[in-house]
Amino acid sequence: MIYKRFLYIFIFLLSISVKASFILLPMDETTQQNHLKAYGITYWCLDKNYKASWLLNYRGGSFLLPDAEEIRKECQIRGVSFEIISDAEELAILNEISSPSQNMESVILEKAPKIAVYTPKGKQPWDDAVTLVLTYAEIPFTAIYDEEVLSDQLLLYDWLHLHHEDFTGQYGKFYSAYKNVPWYIEQKKEAETLATKLGYSKVSQEKGAVAKKIRDFVIGGGFMFAMCSATDSFDIALAADGVDICEAMFDGDASEGNYQAKINYSNSFAFKDFILERKPEQYEFSDIDMTSKRQVPMDKDYFTLMEFSAKWDPIPSMLCQNHTQLVKGFMGQTTAFSAPLIKSNVMVMGTCELNGEARYIHGQKGKGMFTFYGGHDPEDYQHQVGDPPTVLDLHPNSPGYRLILNNVLFPAARKKKLKT
């Protein structure tokens, strides 16, 4: 009888010792069936005040979550692969990660960042890769535009996204191809009406004021992520502050004489010494963009993610987490950045080996940080006006879209000082 009692106690203690205590969301190439929605699960957990860790370079940048029935159910509902591990297994993983010989690190994710997406009212989610992937991953965000930015509502958010936007007031340089198309005429009219409503005589002045508010948001500690034409047009607007670079078809009067000499590169975030494109009919803002200069065949258009020390440089390591180091390239109005025009204090995280162009860059401004990512849609190689939307159910493991979601979760991380 006593023997049986001790046997039961032993079995009970053994069951406790092997009891599952953690959920691992593996992010390697072969195990995870939906990488994109895995980010959504992690965000969902943070939003519900669960603790989470990002295991940098461990099985593709996996996520470690506490074991809870509702988390398991949520993974099953969303089709996210997960593994149940014990305390002992979790300890073994963390010991492996902490070894000095391993380029890995465990980063604690503290809170779900509040996300704002800068986008005009009525814009469809598929017009913008970030709103598309946030919607697919079920990560909540708030759409804001000029009125909200100029009334200081950016203070309510941790992370701001800018996509296919033109902060120079030249309406995306679509004039030559679309000046007589109804949607272009309507968008120009709406922009002029909004500028007038907000107290500006020109759209370029109003967009410049918006760019400066976003600059202040970053300097104050915010995180800004930009893609496609929002990258270079944002920097150009800051550098051309107070200078009229718009021709008459954009703002009703001629540009300033010799305006190139008046550009102040110290105002820009990422780029220096760029030359503005003067021709209004040219679908280009400056020589920052590589679209017209690159001679890269579609089948060879890939960019390589840099490898950083996860223990010493966790910030770029987080931003580069992926299940592959080679990412398929994709076009946009701003496809990639000319490497010689990137400021020396800006970190290049992804480059095309064929021509040396930068695709993915990151920097610090004041207390905040910014990331610029060239191209329009990671799963639509040459996105054209009017193209059908990308269906992300067909690309649940997209490496290009993973880079966007790295930036979404990045502000949730407990910060460590950059060492190199």
The CATH number given to whatever domain includes residue 88 is 3.30.70.790
- Domain match, 372 and 398 both: yes
- Angle between helix axes 129-137 and 35-47 (nearest 10 degrees) is 70
The residue to which tokens 């919607």 are assigned: 135
Within a domain: 20? yes
- Domain match, 97 and 119 both: no
Please tell me the predicted confidence (pLDDT) of residue 176.
79
- Domain match, 28 and 169 both: no
User: Which among 31, 18, 25 has a CA at the least distance from the CA of 65?
Assistant: 25
User: Which among 212, 233, 215, 259 has a CA at the least distance from the CA of 168?
Assistant: 233
Please tell me the predicted confidence (pLDDT) of residue 10.
46
Last residue of a domain, one of 109, 127, 142: 109
Within a domain: 419? no
Q: Are strands 302-305 and 223-227 parallel, antiparallel or unpaired?
A: unpaired
Within a domain: 87? yes
Separation of CA 14 from chain center: 45
Domain span including residue 190: 115-412
- Domain match, 230 and 365 both: yes
Phi, psi of 143 (to 5 degrees): -80, 125
Please tell me the predicted confidence (pLDDT) of residue 11.
46
- Domain match, 94 and 158 both: no
The secondary element (H helix, E strand) that includes residue 121 is none
394 contacts: CB under 8 Å, gap ≥ 6: 379
- Domain match, 166 and 293 both: yes
Are the CB atoms for 297 and 193 separated by under 8 Å?
no
Length of the chain: 420
Within a domain: 96? yes
Within a domain: 418? no
Q: Three-state secondary structure along 384-401?
A: CCCCCCCCHHHCCCCHHH
Last residue of a domain, one of 61, 79, 109: 109
- Domain match, 63 and 128 both: no
Within a domain: 356? yes
Q: How many domains does the chain have?
A: 2
Last residue of a domain, one of 109, 124, 150: 109
The enclosing domain of 258 has a CATH number of 3.40.50.880
- Domain match, 105 and 136 both: no
Within a domain: 102? yes
- Token reading at 17: 């010792």
- Domain match, 300 and 281 both: yes
Helix locations, 156-272, DSSP H: 175-178, 182-197, 203-219, 229-239, 248-251
- Domain match, 137 and 95 both: no
Please tell me the predicted confidence (pLDDT) of residue 280.
85
Please tell me the predicted confidence (pLDDT) of residue 5.
53
CA dist 354 and 294 (Å) reads 9
Neighbours of 307 (CB within 10 A): 14
- Angle between helix axes 35-47 and 69-78 (nearest 10 degrees) is 150
Within a domain: 420? no
- Domain match, 143 and 67 both: no
Please tell me the predicted confidence (pLDDT) of residue 101.
96
CA dist 176 and 170 (Å) reads 12
**Each residue's pLDDT expressed in tens, for the chain with a length of 420 residues:** 555 555 444 444 444 444 569 999 999 999 999 999 999 999 999 999 999 999 999 999 999 999 999 999 999 999 999 999 999 999 999 999 999 999 999 999 999 999 999 998 866 655 789 999 999 999 999 999 999 999 999 999 999 999 888 999 898 888 877 888 888 889 899 999 999 999 999 999 999 999 999 999 999 999 999 999 999 999 999 999 999 999 988 988 989 999 999 999 999 999 999 999 988 888 899 999 999 999 899 999 999 999 999 999 999 999 999 999 999 999 999 999 999 999 999 999 999 999 999 999 999 999 999 999 999 999 999 877 667 889 999 999 999 999 999 999 999 986 655 554
CA dist 11 and 133 (Å) reads 47
Please tell me the predicted confidence (pLDDT) of residue 383.
72
- Domain match, 41 and 124 both: no
Q: Are strands 105-109 and 52-56 parallel, antiparallel or unpaired?
A: antiparallel
Biggest CA-to-CA distance, the chain:
101
